[in-house]
C-alpha cells in the first residue's frame, strides 16, 4: 500500500476501530465511510454553535445560521450551481425526487403527457413518477438499455418527444455502474421542451459534477454517499424553476407572513426548507466537499478505475462467476455486480461476511432492471478511493472459494 493511500485510510476512524479489524468494506454504493474531519465538523457544531438557525437574533443562533448558509455556499460551488439559492437541503436524494414530483410535476404534467425514465432507475426515481402518472393520467415511458453493456441505445432517446414533459434518469446506475450521457439527454429533453431530472447519488462521489455544463434543470444527491452524514441531501434546481414552484412542505421558517386565512412564503431557497433544518448535517456535508476537493477527483477516478479493472479481470479468471454490465472496467464507476452459479446472492454476501468482507446482495432497489435482465437478485461489490489492491486481491481469493464452501465439487 502506498504512503498516500495509507494516509487516506488513516483519515477514516472506522478502519482502525478494534471491532472492524480486517474489515474489507465493499458496499460504498450504499453508503460511504466518514473521514475524521467530517465527524469533527459535526461534533464541533454541536459543541460550539448549536442553536436553531435562521430564527434567533442572538449570537449563538447567528453563528449557527452562518454555518448553515456557509455550507450551502460550499455545496453550490462543489456542483457549480450559478448561485447558492439554487441549493435546497433535504434529507436525501429520495426526498429531493419527491419534492420535484409533488412541487413541480403535479403542477406541470397533465393528462396525455409523458414522463420518460430509464429501466435502470433506483426505486426512488420510479415511484414518484408512477404516482404523478396515475394522479395526472400521464404515461410513463421506459428507456431501455442493452442487456449486455447497460448502455441505452441512441434509438431509445427517440421516445422523448413533444409529449414528454419530464425526463428523469440516473447519472450513474447503482447496479450497472454505467454513466449515462446526461448532457446529451438534457439537450434532447430541452429540444422537446421537457425538463430533465438527474439522480446524481452515485455520480457525485466519483467525479466532478458541473450542473451548469450539463444544463440540468434538477439534480439530486445524498450526502451519505460521498462522506457526509446520513440524513442530509441536496436538490439543485435552476432558480427560475424554483421561483415558479409551490412549497413541498409547509410550516416554520418557510413563510414570510401568516394570517388566519392566508400565508405568503419566504424566498428561495428557504421556501423549500420547512421546519428546523439539519444544520449539523449541512456542516458535515461542507466538510465532505472540502475533503474531496483536497483529495482530488483526478486521483479518485484513477484509483477507483484501477481497482475496478483489477477486480473485473480477476473475476474473469474464476469459473462460474458472471459479472453484470459493460465489459470495460472504466464503465463501472467502481460498481461490480455479479452472480455465482448455483449460489443465491444472499448466501454469497453471508459467506463473504464470515471473511469480514462487506458486499451488498439483493435487488438493489432496482427491481424493474432485475426483471428486464431476468436477474431477481445479484451480489454487488462497490469500491471507493480508500480501498486497496490488497483488499481486491483478498476479495478475489475468497470469492473464488464460495462455491466450494457451499459444497459444490469443481471440475
Is 212 in the same domain as 285? yes
- Is residue 286 predicted with pLDDT exceeding 70? yes
Is 20 in the same domain as 47? no
* Cα–Cα distance measured from residue 388 to residue 24, given in angstroms and rounded to the nearest whole number: 9
Contacts of 43 (CB under 8 A, 6+ apart): none
Please report whether residue 411 resides in a domain.
no
Which of 273, 293, 313 represents a domain boundary (last residue)? Answer: 293
Contacts of 146 (CB under 8 A, 6+ apart): 152, 153
Mean pLDDT of the region 395-403: 97
Is 213 in the same domain as 284? yes
- Is residue 243 predicted with pLDDT exceeding 90? yes
* Cα–Cα distance measured from residue 307 to residue 309, given in angstroms and rounded to the nearest whole number: 5
Q: Is 289 a catalytic residue?
A: no
Q: Convert the pLDDT of each residue in 50-92 to its tens digit.
A: 999 987 789 999 999 999 999 999 999 999 999 999 999 999 9
Q: Convert the pLDDT of each residue in 172-215 to its tens digit.
A: 999 999 999 999 999 999 999 999 999 999 999 999 999 999 99
Which string of DSSP letters, residue by residue, matches 102-127? IIIIHHH--TT-EEEEETT--GGGTH
Is 264 in the same domain as 363? no
* Number of compact structural domains in the chain: 2
Q: Which of 145, 234, 289, 365 is catalytic?
A: 365
Tell me: cis bond preceding 159? Omega within 30 of 0 counts.
no
Instruction: Copy the grid coordinates of residue 298.
Output: 483526478
Please report whether residue 387 resides in a domain.
yes
Please report whether residue 339 resides in a domain.
yes
Please report whether residue 90 resides in a domain.
yes
For 299-333, give one letter per residue: b (16+ CB within 10 A) or e. Answer: ebbebbbebbebbbebbeebeebebbbbeebebbb
pLDDT of residue 145: 97
Ranges assigned E (strand) in 238-373: 255-258, 263-265, 321-324, 335-340, 357-358, 360-362
Q: Convert the pLDDT of each residue in 159-180 to its tens digit.
A: 999 999 999 999 999 999 999 9
Range of the domain at 355: 3-30+296-405
Q: Convert the pLDDT of each residue in 107-123 to its tens digit.
A: 999 999 999 999 999 99
Is 304 in the same domain as 271? no
* Cα–Cα distance measured from residue 359 to residue 401, given in angstroms and rounded to the nearest whole number: 16
| Contact of 67 with 89, CB cutoff 8 Å | no
pLDDT of residue 353: 97
Instruction: Copy the grid coordinates of residue 274.
Output: 420547512
CATH number of domain containing 379:
3.90.1150.10
- 320 φ/ψ sector (left φ>0, alpha ψ -120 to 50, else beta): left
Instruction: Copy the grid coordinates of residue 325.
Output: 454490465
* Cα–Cα distance measured from residue 16 to residue 268, given in angstroms and rounded to the nearest whole number: 43
Q: Convert the pLDDT of each residue in 22-57 to its tens digit.
A: 999 999 999 999 999 999 999 999 999 999 998 778
- Dihedral sign from CA coordinates of 370, 163, 113, 98: positive
- Is residue 255 predicted with pLDDT exceeding 70? no
Cell 478475489: give the residue.
396
Which of 293, 325, 347 represents a domain boundary (last residue)? Answer: 293
Is 329 in the same domain as 304? yes
Amino acid at each position: 500500500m502506498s504512503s498516500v493511500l495509507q494516509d487516506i485510510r488513516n483519515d477514516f476512524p472506522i478502519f482502525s476501530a478494534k471491532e472492524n479489524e480486517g474489515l474489507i468494506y465493499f458496499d460504498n454504493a450504499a453508503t460511504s465511510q466518514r473521514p475524521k474531519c467530517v465527524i469533527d465538523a459535526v461534533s464541533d457544531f454541536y459543541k460550539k454553535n448549536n442553536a436553531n438557525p435562521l430564527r434567533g437574533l442572538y449570537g449563538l443562533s447567528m453563528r449557527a445560521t452562518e454555518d448553515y448558509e456557509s455550507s450551502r455556499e460550499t455545496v453550490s460551488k462543489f456542483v457549480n450551481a450559478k448561485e447558492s439559492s439554487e441549493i435546497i437541503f433535504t434529507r436525501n436524494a429520495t426526498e429531493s425526487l419527491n419534492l420535484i414530483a409533488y412541487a413541480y410535476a403535479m403542477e406541470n404534467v397533465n393528462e396525455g403527457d409523458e414522463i420518460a425514465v430509464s429501466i435502470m432507475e433506483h426505486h426512488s426515481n420510479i415511484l414518484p413518477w408512477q404516482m404523478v402518472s396515475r394522479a395526472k393520467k400521464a404515461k410513463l415511458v421506459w428507456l431501455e438499455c442493452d442487456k449486455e453493456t447497460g448502455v441505452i441505445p441512441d434509438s431509445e432517446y427517440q421516445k422523448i418527444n413533444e409529449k414528454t414533459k419530464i425526463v428523469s434518469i440516473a447519472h450513474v446506475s447503482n447496479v450497472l455502474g454505467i454513466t449515462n450521457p446526461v448532457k446529451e439527454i438534457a439537450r434532447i429533453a430541452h429540444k422537446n421542451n421537457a425538463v430533465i431530472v438527474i439522480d446524481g447519488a452515485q455520480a457525485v462521489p466519483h467525479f466532478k459534477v458541473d450542473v451548469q455544463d450539463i444544463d440540468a434543470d434538477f439534480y439530486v444527491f445524498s450526502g451519505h454517499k460521498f462522506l457526509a452524514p446520513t440524513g442530509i441531501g441536496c436538490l439543485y434546481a435552476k432558480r427560475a424553476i424554483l421561483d415558479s414552484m409551490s412549497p413541498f412542505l409547509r410550516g416554520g421558517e418557510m413563510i414570510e407572513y401568516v394570517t388566519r386565512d392566508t400565508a405568503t412564503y419566504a424566498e428561495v431557497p428557504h421556501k423549500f426548507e420547512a421546519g428546523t433544518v439539519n444544520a449539523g448535517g449541512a456542516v458535515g456535508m461542507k466538510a465532505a466537499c472540502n475533503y474531496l476537493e483536497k483529495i482530488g477527483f483526478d486521483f479518485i477516478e484513477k484509483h477507483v478505475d484501477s481497482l475496478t479493472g483489477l477486480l473485473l479481470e480477476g473475476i474473469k479468471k474464476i469459473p462460474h462467476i458472471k459479472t453484470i454490465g459493460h465489459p470495460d472496467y472504466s464503465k463501472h464507476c467502481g460498481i461490480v455486480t455479479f452472480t455465482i452459479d448455483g449460489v443465491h446472492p444472499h448466501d454469497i454476501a453471508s459467506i463473504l461476511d464470515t471473511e469480514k468482507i462487506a458486499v451488498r446482495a439483493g435487488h438493489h432497489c432496482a427491481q424493474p432492471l432485475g426483471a428486464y435482465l431476468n436477474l431477481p437478485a445479484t451480489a454487488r461489490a462497490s469500491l471507493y478511493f480508500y480501498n486497496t489492491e490488497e483488499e481486491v486481491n483478498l476479495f478475489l481469493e475468497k470469492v473464488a472459494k464460495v462455491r466450494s464452501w457451499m459444497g459444490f465439487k469443481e471440475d
